[in-house]
Amino acid sequence: MDENTVETESNGHESTLNIRGALEKSFDMGDELQAQKADTSVEPTRATVEREIETESQQTEAQAGEEIANVPRAVAPPRDMNKAEREAFLNPTAENAHVLQAYLSRRAFETQAEYDRKRAEVDRMRAETEGVHKVYQKHEKEYQELGLTPEKLTERSIEWDLAMKDNPIQTALEWLDGYGLRIDDLYAASQGQLEGYYPPEPETPEYLTREEAERVAESKIQAMINEQQQNYVAQQNLATVQSFMQSKPLFTATDAQTAAQLEEKMAPIVSALTQQQAGSPQEILETAYNYVVKGDPVFSSLAGKLEAATQIKTQTQTVKKAKAASRAVSGSVGSGSPRLGIRDLRENLRRRLNGLD
């Protein structure tokens, strides 16, 4: 029997099968299965293909968006930064964090100062125009019927006033003509010939008695004295405030924004204590300062840091003074008691005999 032939037994019958033939038969069966599978498969429709393409496109866009979001953004430093601030902005580290903090604090202070300036300007303009607006509101309906806004009415009044200064006679005639009057009408009215017009009675001047004149003079003098006292007190309070602020490290050793915040928190306390007359201006300022610094954790932390830095500086200066004093006496630090330079034995004996040593 050929070595490529095997014997099998099935249902009591022996049969021989060549291995090569078996493999070829297996391949033939595989081709038939593939053909059957191909016959039973369903071709994808165009809508299905479009949906798959759209899904893949959305996934690709989502992945690209995530990759872009994870990439750090390149941000240019603000133009008002100096060299050190720009370097800290572009390369932030723990060592240069204080530079960025100082910049942010300064910008916040400048923004608040600009806002306060604009607000004061708006308040000033409102105070200047509020009275005119209130007067206009009383006759707003009449002027609106004439088509005169507050701006036009004010402009017209100013133009008439300037015209009266330049040429009063011609302007008066034009003004009368605008209201349908003539110069003859004014003359008739002054003579009482115009119906419904009564010329005003001449005013008699009022003269003050001596006692009344003295009372008026005393009241004016007293008002001047009170004003001078108020100015003096205001100057004294200002000097006290400036002296107090110069004595506190939180005002002198910090930036303007920190000092402004501390002053803002102290203001209502100072106002309340002043109304209660709780003490002298110096005592009131000291009480308000301690209340804010001890009650606010931010200022309490800053005060602790400044106090520690002051103590270290004081200790350093004390050590330097001690070393300088020691060096001045002995010529070197820690060299013991000072010694005198002796040239030779004869000089040594002479000094001992004279009682110098």
* Angle of CA points 348, 351, 353, to nearest 5°: 110
Percent of the chain with pLDDT over 90: 7
Average pLDDT over residues 155-178: 85
CB atoms inside a 10 Å sphere around CB 289: 23
- Condensed to tens digits (0 to 9), the pLDDT of residues 7-63 reads 444 444 444 456 556 555 555 555 555 555 545 544 556 666 567 777 777 777 666
Q: Is 187 exposed, middle or buried (0-12, 13-18, 19+ CB in 10 A)?
A: exposed
pLDDT of 117 above 90: yes
Q: Distance (Å, rounded) from C-alpha 189 to C-alpha 52?
A: 101
The answer on pLDDT for 123 being more than 90 is yes
What local confidence, expressed as pLDDT, does residue 6 receive?
Answer: 44
Per-residue three-class SS string for the chain: CCCCEEEEEECCEEEEEEHHHHHHHHHHHHHHHHHHHHHHCCCCCHHHHHHHHHHHHHHHHHHHHHHHHHCCCCCCCCCCCCHHHHHHHHCCCCCCHHHHHHHHHHHHHHHHHHHHHHHHHHHHHHHHHHHHHHHHHHCHHHHHHCCCCHHHHHHHHHHHHHHHHHCHHHHHHHHHHHCCCCHHHHHHHHCCCCCCCCCCCCCCCCCCCHHHHHHHHHHHHHHHHHHHHHHHHHHHHHHHHHHHHHCCHHHHCCCHHHHHHHHHHHHHHHHHHHHCCCCCHHHHHHHHHHHHHHHCHHHHHHHHHHHHHHHHHHHHHHHHHHHHHHHHHHCCCCCCCCCCCCCCHHHHHHHHHCCCC
Task: Give the pLDDT band (50/70/90) at residue 231.
Answer: confident
pLDDT at residue 72 greater than cutoff 60: no
pTM value > 0.85: no
**pLDDT tens digits, one per residue of 280-323:** 888 889 998 998 888 888 888 888 888 877 778 777 777 787 77
Distance CA 233, CA 40 (A): 107
Q: Percentage of the chain surpassing pLDDT 70?
A: 68
Average pLDDT over every residue of 183-208: 63
The structural domains of the chain, with segments of one domain joined by +, span 15-70, 82-138, 151-196, 225-322
- Dig out the tokens for 320 from the structure: 């330097």
Position 23 scores a pLDDT of 53
Q: Is residue 110 predicted with pLDDT exceeding 60?
A: yes
Burial of 349 (0-12, 13-18, 19+ CB in 10 A): exposed
pLDDT per position as a tens digit, 237-285: 888 888 888 888 888 887 888 888 888 889 899 888 888 887 888 888 9
